Amino acid sequence: MTALVRSYLHLYFRPRGQELDGDFVYDPLVMGLKNLRGSHRIVHYPPYRGFRRAWNRPHFTRALVLTFIGSLTILACSPLQLATPAPTATPGAAPRFTYTIVNSYPHDPGAFTQGLVYENGYLYEGTGLRGQSTLRRVDLNSGEVVRSLALDPELFGEGITLLGDRIIQLTLSAGLGFVYDRRSFSKLEEFSFTPEGWGLTHDGRQLIMSDGSAELRFLDPDSFQETRRLLVTDDGFPVSMLNELEYVEGEIYANIWQTDRIARISPDTGKVMGWIDLTGLRAENPRAGVLNGIAYDSEGRRLFVTGKNWPELFEISLVRE
Ligand SMILES: [Ca+2]
């Protein structure tokens, strides 16, 4: 090691004009350059000064290589690296919660659940898949579908929310949303948005929608114009695949697509304030898909969850780990 350091010092601080014969034989980097450039170009300098001479000197080229390697190292440690999305739904420092089942209710196993809300003993559910998408009102206790509206078979239904007397429903990729009368399900108006519609909820003032990214969009509930975006992060890392949403006691709950986790998100900062792990809740029924339905009874303070084609819907209470 000492000989190697001495050889580098000799290479950098040797008297001007001294040739490299004999030096590069124990310098691994110069040896590498020798192989790349040919030894005759290392040993024999052109007889003039200037950039070309400097360029042809191996220590100049080596400095370029070292600068390049150093730049890569700095880049690897830079904040840009920290901005790289973390694996979806990997919990960071936020508190973790598991659950206990308080009640279970029948749920239509044919319902590809994409949106879920609760009011006055009924669930309002939006289902997906082209040709099977619906908006439905479901009796909580019996699971009976008491009203159903089929969407155009070309459309893929997504998230829904209930705001006053209106039900608002998104579609996946058509850029189209619908507003219905809550009681009759008659269509009141349509609106457009970009890029995709996934989950939908509201905070009493604005609609909040997800699109599968790590950003939530806030929309004016009358004009449907975007008013704000919120980047959701956990321990500094963006959390993508935000799906079905529910506004619960001042927090935004979000299913993380294709996982058994729900993120509890601060609507002010976008930080994940807690993770709910629902592992084990999904039925062993082979038709049952991923967790994808959160509804909250704000009067009874009951939290309901279900999933795509799950045969049951659960009321759960959270348990801090
Ligand atoms: Ca919901």
Q: What would the pLDDT profile of 277-308 be if each residue is shown by its tens digit? A: 999 998 777 789 999 999 999 999 999 999 99
Using the predicted structure, report yes or no on whether residue 57 has a pLDDT greater than 60. Answer: no
More confident residue, 78 or 147: 147
Using the predicted structure, report yes or no on whether residue 11 has a pLDDT greater than 60. Answer: no
254 CA → ligand 1 middle, Å: 8
pLDDT of res. 93: 80
263 CA → ligand 1 middle, Å: 13
pLDDT of res. 68: 52
pLDDT of res. 247: 98
pLDDT tens per residue, range 248-270: 999 999 999 999 999 999 999 99
- pLDDT band of residue 61 (cuts 50, 70, 90) is low
pLDDT tens per residue, range 84-142: 344 455 566 899 999 999 999 999 999 999 999 999 999 999 999 999 999 999 999 99
Least confident of 65-79, 190-204, 231-245: 65-79
Q: Which of 223, 216, 211 is nearest to 267 (CA)?
A: 216
| Residue where the block lists tokens 């002010």 | 268
246 CA → ligand 1 middle, Å: 4
115 CA → ligand 1 middle, Å: 5
34 CA → ligand 1 middle, Å: 65
131 CA → ligand 1 middle, Å: 22
Question: Residue 242 pairs with which residues in a beta bridge?
Answer: 256
- pLDDT band of residue 6 (cuts 50, 70, 90) is very low
pLDDT of res. 21: 31
Q: What is the mean pLDDT of the chain?
A: 81
User: Would you give the distance in Å from CA 43 to the centre of its chain?
Assistant: 55
- pLDDT band of residue 320 (cuts 50, 70, 90) is very high
Strands 96-106 and 272-277: parallel
Q: What is the pTM of this model?
A: 0.73
Using the predicted structure, report yes or no on whether residue 169 has a pLDDT greater than 70. Answer: yes
278 CA → ligand 1 middle, Å: 16
43 CA → ligand 1 middle, Å: 73
DSSP structural state of residue 184: T
pLDDT of res. 303: 98
255 CA → ligand 1 middle, Å: 9
pLDDT of res. 318: 98
199 CA → ligand 1 middle, Å: 7
What are the b/e assignments for 244-278, b being 16+ CB within 10 Å? Answer: bbbbbeebbbbbbbebbbbbbbbbeebbbebbbbb
203 CA → ligand 1 middle, Å: 12
- Homologous superfamily of domain range 96-320: TolB, C-terminal domain (2.120.10.30)
Using the predicted structure, report yes or no on whether residue 29 has a pLDDT greater than 80. Answer: no
93 CA → ligand 1 middle, Å: 25
251 CA → ligand 1 middle, Å: 13
Strands 157-163 and 145-150: unpaired
More confident residue, 49 or 149: 149
Side chain identity, residue 26: Y
Strands 122-127 and 113-119: antiparallel
User: Would you give the distance in Å from CA 69 to the centre of its chain?
Assistant: 32
284 CA → ligand 1 middle, Å: 23
Per DSSP, the residues of 246-298 read EEETTEEEEEETTSSEEEEE-TTT-BEEEEEE-TT-S-S-TT---EEEEEEET
Using the predicted structure, report yes or no on whether residue 19 has a pLDDT greater than 70. Answer: no
Residue 32 host element (H or E): helix 28-37
Token pair in block for residue 4: 């190697």
pLDDT of res. 287: 81
Portions of the chain given CATH number 2.120.10.30 = 96-320
What are the b/e assignments for 23-52, b being 16+ CB within 10 Å? Answer: bbeebebbeebbeeeeeebbeebeeeeeee
252 CA → ligand 1 middle, Å: 10
67 CA → ligand 1 middle, Å: 53
pLDDT of res. 56: 53
11 CA → ligand 1 middle, Å: 68
Using the predicted structure, report yes or no on whether residue 181 has a pLDDT greater than 50. Answer: yes
296 CA → ligand 1 middle, Å: 8
The three-point CA angle 320-261-292 to 5° equals 130
Q: Read off the pLDDT of each residue in 216-230 and give the average, rounded to a whole number.
A: 98
The three-point CA angle 227-185-121 to 5° equals 90
